Amino acid sequence: MHFTVSRRILSRLRLVVLMACALVTVAACAGERVWAPDEAIQAARYAHGGRPELTIVTVMNYRTKRGDHTAMFINADERVLFDPAGSWKLPDVPERNDLHHGITPRIGASYYLSHTRETHYTVVQRIPVSMETALRAKRLAQAAGPVPPARCAVSTIAILRELPGFSDLRSGYYPNKLMDQIAEIPGVITHELHYDAPDINRQVYAVQAPL
């Protein structure tokens, strides 16, 4: 599958990433209640298309070889991002207690590129599920936040264990331990994103393409 991204789009994307990095730096402490109004949620709503799926994102530290963060994209009747105890924010992306709405490919690319940098790489694990499972995951994510600091992996595991096919997951606080468990699930599709890859922009869009 080939993806062509225009220079204009990439230029805008780089600006979005710079904005995201700045906002991460000045963001409030994780665990703070955030509640976007209904009209903002509805206006941002984005249907991704393709199969329903869950995408587990693990931000890996090159130096320690450990995971520093866990997040989960949910593609159900809309595409949302559960970023538990995360500090990533964009002005045009409405959030309700760690659940971000309106996750278009451009917004998703901003998330991936702001976490894939010289010190960290990103492991993306896509798991096809039924629509019923994806909708339940979204409902559980809506009720899960705001998540306290250092509980990104354990809060994600708590949601997954309520879903068919994930009940055997062992709870824990280490993102890379969750990543290892997800790797054992049949049908998982895994990608790694590295900041110095010559085609990093194409890869970022590829991991978001509908299955």
> What pLDDT sits at residue 200?
97
Q: Residue 121: which H helix or E strand, with range?
A: strand 120-128
pLDDT digits 0-9 by tens, 138-157:
999 999 989 999 999 999 99
Segments in the chain below pLDDT 50: 1-7, 9-11, 14-29
> What pLDDT sits at residue 32?
79
* Residue appearing with tokens 């949302």: 80
> What pLDDT sits at residue 211?
87
pTM, 2 dp: 0.86
Q: Is residue 1 part of a domain?
A: no
> What pLDDT sits at residue 24?
41
Q: Is residue 76 part of a domain?
A: yes
Phi and psi based region of residue 23 (left: phi greater than 0; alpha: psi -120 to 50; beta: remaining): alpha
Count of domains forming the chain: 1
Q: Is residue 102 part of a domain?
A: yes
Residue-number span of the structural domain to which 175 is assigned: 7-206
